[in-house]
Structure 1
Amino acid sequence: MHRLILLRHAKSDWPAGVADHERPLNGRGRRGAPLIGGAMAERGYVPERALVSSARRTQETWALAKAAGRTLPEGSEDARLYHASVGMLMAVIGQTPEEIKSLALVGHNPGLEALAGSLVAEGPLIERQRVSTKYPTGGLAVIDCDIAAWRDIRPKCGTLIAFISPRDLDAGAE
């Protein structure tokens, strides 16, 4: 069994004249990311490795989540995650070393939502519907994949263990 944790960046700002890649988090994002990080640590959703998109908003999200969830690992920047397609995300996952049994990807929609929807075959119906139709900023999906190795990742191999957003933890965060 392998655990995949998918974290969409927290709510970001749209400052004039700032390129998409350099957009920072806004106030809601800066409040929401620590809530998710704390929940990850409290609930034991602590990956062995975290790959983080090179975009500023994903880097800020993971830094704030890690500061709140002190047991979370350092993030490794991976430019391939910036607006990655499902195919690219699957390729990144498939290249994960076998000694890593739990992996977090910190990235963007629509890729994360589509990936989660394609992987999940089991779990609570309401949560499965939610993960594939409205993956909010700061949303976290925890998926256990019944595979022997990361290179075996395939559609419908996963069970959704949890799906939470900052709004689930604090109404003012999302």
Structure 2
Amino acid sequence: MHRLILMRHAKAERGSPSGRDKDRPLAARGRDDAARVGKALATRGLKPDRALVSGAARTRQTWDIVHDSLGDVEVAIIDDLYEADPDILRARIEAEMDSAGCLILIGHNPGIHQLAVELLMEGAAAPSVLERLSSGFPTGMAAIFSVDAAERYALEGLIRPDDAEAAA
């Protein structure tokens, strides 16, 4: 794998008809945000070979919208990515190291944010780079990492929904 994209699901409704958090759908703003981020990824030429997506409704819907901009991508819906901690996310990523040149993982906070910070710290990122993620990992944001031969991660960029069109 030479590139990893970590993305948090887009903005979701506060509740779901079932009352279960896992069933919360995207809000209208979330659908718009996911479309903007998907277009920004495509414009940058960041087309994943494989997508790992949490089984929650909001992550699946985020992927469906992002996918519209990226074309054919192999996808795996994985229930244990729902509210997964960084260790579970990392294990799933490591299992894909040899099967995807570019991998996107769409999940939830706090796991996505914690994993992004851990990857940067392990790669000895500059304090200014770490500071870019210190404010959190808002809904719909994507962090793009390059991965070197020693499996060290370096931040290539962040795409936030609000500035996705400018980033594209």
- Range into which the TM-score falls when normalised by the shorter chain: 0.7 to 0.9
Closer, same or farther in 2 for the Cα pair 1:39/1:125, shift >3 Å? Answer: farther
Q: Which runs of 5+ in 1 are unaligned?
A: none
CA contact (8 A) 1:131 1:141 kept: no
Question: What SS does the corresponding residue of 1:143 show, helix, strand or coil?
Answer: strand
CA RMSD of aligned residues (A): 2.2
1:124 to partner: Cα distance: 7.5
Letter matched to residue 137 of structure 1:
T
- Paired with 2:126 and 2:41, the residues of 1 have a C-alpha distance of 19
Q: Which residue of 2 aligns with 1:134?
A: 136
CA deviations on 1:102-143 (whole Å, 9 max, x unpaired) are 111000000000000010236686554222431110000001
Letter matched to residue 130 of structure 1:
R
CA deviations on 1:8-55 (whole Å, 9 max, x unpaired) are 000001126521100001111011000011111110111110010000
CA contact (8 A) 1:145 1:159 kept: yes
1:64 correspondence with 2:45: no
- Paired with 1:97 and 1:117, the residues of 2 have a C-alpha distance of 19
TM-score normalised to structure 1 length: 0.84
Q: Which residue of 1 aligns with 2:37?
A: 36
After TM superposition, the structure 1 = structure 2 runs for residues 21-170 of structure 1, keeping only pairs within 5 Å, are 21-67=22-68, 69-71=69-71, 73-96=73-96, 98-120=98-120, 121=123, 126-148=128-150, 157-169=152-164
- Paired with 2:158 and 2:49, the residues of 1 have a C-alpha distance of 19
CA contact (8 A) 2:47 2:70 kept: no
User: Which range moves more in the overlay, 15-24 or 110-119?
Assistant: 15-24
- Paired with 1:49 and 1:147, the residues of 2 have a C-alpha distance of 19
- Runs in 1 of length 4+ with deviation above 6 angstroms? none
1:146 to partner: Cα distance: 1.9
CA contact (8 A) 1:113 1:133 kept: no
Closer, same or farther in 2 for the Cα pair 1:19/1:33, shift >3 Å? Answer: same
Closer, same or farther in 2 for the Cα pair 1:19/1:162, shift >3 Å? Answer: same
Letter matched to residue 57 of structure 2:
R
1:72 to partner: Cα distance: 5.3
Aligned length: 163
Question: What SS does the corresponding residue of 1:36 show, helix, strand or coil?
Answer: helix
Q: Which runs of 5+ in 2 are unaligned?
A: none
Identity of aligned residues (%): 39
TM-score normalised to structure 2 length: 0.87
